[in-house]
Copies of this chain bind each other. A is one copy, B any other.
Amino acid sequence: MKFSIQKDRFAQSVQDVLKAISSRTTIPILTGIKIDVTEEGIKLTGSDSDISIESFIPQEEEGKILAEIEQPGSIVLNARFFNEIVKKLPLDRIEIEVMNSFQTVIRSGQSEFNLNGLDPEEYPHLPQIEEREVFKMPTDLLKTIIRQTVFAVSASETRPILTGVNWRMEDGRLVCIATDSHRLAMRKAAVETDSDAEYNVVIPGKSLNELSKILDDTKEPVEIVITDSQVLFRAKHLLFYSRLLEGNYPDTSRLIPTESKTKLELNTKEFLQAIDRASLLAREERNNVVKLSVIDQDTIEISSNSPEIGKVTEQVKSRSVEGDELRISFSAKYMMDALKALDGTEINVQFTGAMKPFIIRPEQDDSTLQLILPVRTY
């Protein structure tokens, strides 16, 4: 194996596949990046066996030569060292050559590294995804969907299924739900598809977070293929595989109230900042709980009280307050997470009582919903 390549493009690909590689793996070969060189170009692979990422650099792109292939072949190199080395090489052009017994020489200018490589035959095969139904969405929409849901997955392994985001496809419409059983985030989106296949799968939150970091904010479509145990996201020159979580996702539809007894219309930013201030004193003693009280037809009050430190109150204008009076307590963190996930300057908050889950939606947009369970404070 021998080739030379443009450094920055190569370093970016190394960086991308590195996201799949865990430093804590117990399988030595998975600490490596696999490099496969063919006449077409250079393919890099990283995997922790849950997530696998492939990045491809074509030999030529838009009439520009990116890589010069002298001899095809494969090698596996320690990912962490290789990444550091590539980033710090002195020149814009680097040359990589495999010698005897997987010894690999990396040259750039006067700098010459000699790395002990591993046998590429030992590298596990990536999941085989049969080309079945494919659906598509723009990259930026995919990133938005992830951002609006994944924060609400459970951080605890007590119920492993809740560490993932439930993706259901029904009638050409994708419904994504995440919940840690204290709050819930839901996002619906239309997708492009030729088939009428229905899916109901759970994608690990960690996988979606890593995917989101790699993808650029473009309108370019991402193709998505779902099988029984795997999901594949295919962007330009990039394949991202994740295993799916096993088990049935709980039915959350009954959790979402259909009526409301008190309804507020609030400016997202003003409300978020008031919650943020009230939470300052609530962080330690009281598990970050703040109180919301309806004062009159256009005012609510946010407050928090920590006997040892002090208390805070703040009145916030509401464009309208409909329905019953209300005093309710909830986690400031959950509320801030929910408000940050919503796009839109005005939101509706709908309550059905101080002990019932309440929902937050952007005005005039029912594709997104955030739900929070209140906290009992007496």
Question: Is the pair B110, A280 in contact by a Cβ cutoff of 8 Å?
Answer: no
- A111-B314 contact, Cβ under 8 Å, with A88-B276, A277-B85, A280-B84: yes
Query: Which A residues between 165 and 223 are near B, CB-CB below 8 angstroms?
Result: none
Which residues of B are found within 8 Å of A113, using beta-carbon distances? Answer: 277, 281, 310-312
Residues of chain A at the chain B interface (Cβ within 8 Å)? 78, 81, 84-85, 88-90, 103-104, 110-116, 273-274, 276-277, 280-281, 308-316
Closest to A304 in B: B113
Residue of B nearest to A104 (CB): B310
Complex: chain B residue closest to A284, CB-CB: B81
B309 touches A115 (CB 8 A): yes
Question: A88-B276, A90-B273, A113-B312 known; 15 other A-B pairs, CB under 8 Å?
Answer: A81-B280, A81-B281, A85-B277, A90-B277, A111-B274, A111-B277, A111-B312, A111-B314, A112-B312, A112-B314, A114-B310, A114-B311, A116-B308, A116-B309, A116-B310
The CB with the most chain B CB atoms within 10 A, among A78, A85, A310, A311, is that of A310
In whole Å, how far is A68's beta carbon from the nearest beta carbon of chain B?
23
Complex contact A277–B89 (CB within 8 A): yes
From A84, A276, A316, name the one whose CB has the most chain B CB atoms within 10 angstroms: A84
Residue of B nearest to A90 (CB): B273
Number of copies: 2
CB distance from A104 to the nearest CB of B (A): 8
Q: Are A88 and B314 in contact (CB under 8 A)?
A: no
A226 to B50, CA, bound (A): 62
Determine whether the beta carbon of A88 is less than 8 Å from that of B280: yes
In the complex, which residues of chain B have a beta carbon less than 8 angstroms from the beta carbon of A115? 309-310
Q: In the bound complex, what is the Cα–Cα distance between A104 and B310 (angstroms)?
A: 9
A7 to chain B, nearest CB (A): 13
Q: Determine the distance from Cα of A113 to Cα of B316 in the docked complex, in whole angstroms.
A: 15
In angstroms, how far is the closest chain B Cβ from the Cβ of A93? Answer: 16
Which of B88, B110, B114, B312 sits near A315, CB closer than 8 Å?
Answer: B110
Q: Contacts A90-B273, A111-B274 given: A85-B313 contact, CB under 8 Å?
A: no
Which residues of chain B have C-beta atoms less than 8 A from A281's C-beta? 81, 113
Chain B residue numbers with a CB within 8 Å of A313 are: 112
Contact A110 B311 (CB under 8 A): no
6 A-B pairs with least C-beta separation: A115-B310, A111-B314, A110-B315, A113-B312, A114-B311, A114-B310
Instruction: Find out whether the CB atom of A280 lies under 8 angstroms from the CB atom of B310.
Output: no
A354 CB to closest chain B CB (Å) equals: 23
**Whole-angstrom CA separation of A112 from B314 in the bound complex:** 6
Question: How far, in Å, is A269 (CB) from chain B's closest CB?
Answer: 11
Shortest C-beta distance, A109 to chain B (Å), equals: 8
For the complex, give the distance between the alpha carbons of A376 and B103 in Å.
28
Min CB gap A249→B, angstroms:
38
Complex Cα spacing A116 to B285, Å: 15
Minimal beta-carbon separation of A364 from chain B (angstroms): 27
Q: Are A88 and B309 in contact (CB-based, < 8 A)?
A: no
CA distance A79 to B113 in the complex (A): 51
Contacts of A312 in B (CB 8 A): 111-114
- Say yes or no: B114 contacts A314, CB within 8 Å: no
- Nearest chain B CB to A41 CB, angstrom units: 25
Of chain B, the residue at the smallest CB distance from A276 is B88
Closest-CB distance, A340 to chain B (whole angstroms): 15
Are B309 and A81 interface neighbours, CB within 8 A?
Answer: yes
Residues of chain B with a CB closer than 8 A to A316's CB: 110
User: In the complex, A131 Cα to B375 Cα: how many Å?
Assistant: 59
Residues of B near A311 (CB, < 8 A) are 113-114
CA–CA, A112 and B313, complex, Å = 5
